[in-house]
Amino acid sequence: MLVLLRHGQSTLNRGGRLLGITNPSLSDLGASQAKLCGSLDKDAHTIISSPLSRAYQSATFAFPNRAISTDSRWTEINYGSYEGKKLSDIPPLDLEKWMSDPDFQPPSGESLQEVQRRVTQALDDLLELAASETVIVVSHVTPIKAAVAVALGVDMRISWHMRLSLSSATTLAATGNQYSLVGFNDVSHLGDLAIT
């Protein structure tokens, strides 16, 4: 089983801006959200995190005193010149192209297809392990959506039709040579701290 956790709220998540490789810390609320993710441990032997602070801090709050490795393939998308902007700030023709073409690349940034390629490699490397034990990966919106797209056998245009809450859990079952989607955007462990 592969459990994909989105990080808790960061100090910059509150404004609805695109937050890719910018590296803020968790807010106080984000730290509290992350601590509640510890209930999802399910005897996981392997815990992996994006190296970005908001994900790694979430992993350490959720799973204190546990070994946590990092894998840059689970890093958030590089939004390039769109970093820090709201979707409403992006020129309409660019936004239309971005939403219809997974190979569209923001200036100096990364395409959705590039994210899906690196996440696919990471998933392939975890397939055998996730078939025999629970693996937890603490990551970000775009890589988690990419993993769901891989499990469903679709391209990244689907990412525009998914909403992923802070500190939510998405679960993929690893069987044979593929993943299947078991659960998506579960925030039941967060109680009153869920932001949907």
Note if 7 is an active site residue: yes
Q: CA quadruple 9, 12, 13, 19: dihedral positive or negative?
A: negative
Of 7, 110, 140, 189, the active-site residue reads 7
The helix (H) or strand (E) run that includes residue 138 is strand 135-139
Note if 140 is an active site residue: no
Distance of alpha carbon 91 from alpha carbon 85, whole angstroms: 11
Q: How many CB atoms lie within 10 A of CB 45?
A: 12
Q: Which DSSP symbol is given to 157?
A: G
**Angle between the 53-62 and 28-36 helix axes, to the nearest 10 degrees?**
50
The pair of three-digit structure tokens given for residue 107, joined into one six-digit string: 């200036």
Of 45, 76, 133, 140, the active-site residue reads 76
| Farthest CA pair distance, the chain | 48
Instruction: Tokens 């992996």: give the residue.
Output: 48
Angle ∠(160,136,128) on CA atoms, nearest 5: 100
Q: Which DSSP symbol is given to 27?
A: P
Instruction: Tokens 């769901």: give the residue.
Output: 148
Which residues are annotated as catalytic?
7, 76
